[in-house]
Chains A and B, each alone.
Chain A
Amino acid sequence: DTAVSQTPKYLVTQMGNDKSIKCEQNLGHDTMYWYKQDSKKFLKIMFSYNNKELIINETVPNRFSPKSPDKAHLNLHINSLELGDSAVYFCASSPTRTARVNTEAFFGQGTRLTVV
């Protein structure tokens, strides 16, 4: 059973198009994330949602709009795609930190987006 699953795995699209990436987790976690990994392999946090509420928006262009219909899903919609958006986008989830301090994040397999 896949714990964090995202679709599609690969996405090739033209500049200016609008596309969505879907993410679902079956771990019962309260917090979900979107990360962008660029060509230099740096994993940068984009958004964090806790129980469907936005916690972090790390200066991401407003062409990127996350949507969390419930705490098991966090989708990413991107408008007017640009060449610089080409990257691997990872969805992740983690349990809410309560008694356990070291709660890890679990990642999906990534979506490789190529804008041409």
Chain B
Amino acid sequence: RKEVEQDPGPFNVPEGATVAFNCTYSNSASQSFFWYRQDCRKEPKLLMSVYSSGNEDGRFTAQLNRASQYISLLIRDSKLSDSATYLCVVNVAGNQFYFGTGTSLTVIP
């Protein structure tokens, strides 16, 4: 069983749309949670950390439900530049980062 499960998509949305990504994790001892972004042929880069109370960074909102072991990312007012793969990441024991398979997003003009 994979540590982190994500819907791979692809998600194709028009500019200005709102899109939501979800993931679930299997290890209840997971300690910290992130969304990373990976552009084609590039390395993954941190988009935002995910906190228990939920957190927002501009057009991006992340939520964590520890009871359901569920993490979400909401992107509002999608831009062309948001096209990328979004990776759900869970840190177990402080130094074990496990990645989901990623969700591909294409924002269409």
Q: Which residues of A contact B (CB under 8 A)?
A: 31, 33, 35, 40-45, 48, 50, 55-56, 90, 92, 94, 96-97, 101-110
Contacts and interface: CB of A to CB of B under 8 A. Distances in A.
Interface residues of B, number: 24
11 contacts: A41-B38, A41-B85, A43-B99, A55-B96, A90-B43, A94-B97, A97-B31, A97-B91, A103-B94, A106-B46, A110-B42
A105 B96 CA distance: 10
User: Which 9 pairs between the two chains have the least Cβ-Cβ distance?
Assistant: A97-B94, A107-B43, A102-B49, A43-B99, A102-B32, A31-B95, A104-B46, A105-B97, A42-B101
A109 B44 CA distance: 9
B40 to A, nearest CB: 10
B11 interface: no
Contact of B99 (A42, A48, A94, A108): A42
Contacts of B49: 102, 104
B96 A45 contact: yes
A38 B51 CA distance: 30
Nearest to A109: B43
Given A104-B49, A107-B43, A45 B98 contact: yes
B95 A48 contact: yes
Nearest to A29: B95
A45 B4 CA distance: 12
B97 A33 contact: yes
Nearest to A44: B99
A71 to B, nearest CB: 13
Given A41-B101, A102-B32, A104-B34, A109 B42 contact: yes
Contacts of B87: 43
Nearest to B95: A31
Contacts of B51: 102
A48 B102 CA distance: 21
Given A42-B99, A42-B101, A55-B96, 10 more contacts: A43-B99, A45-B98, A48-B95, A50-B95, A102-B33, A103-B32, A103-B94, A104-B49, A107-B45, A109-B42
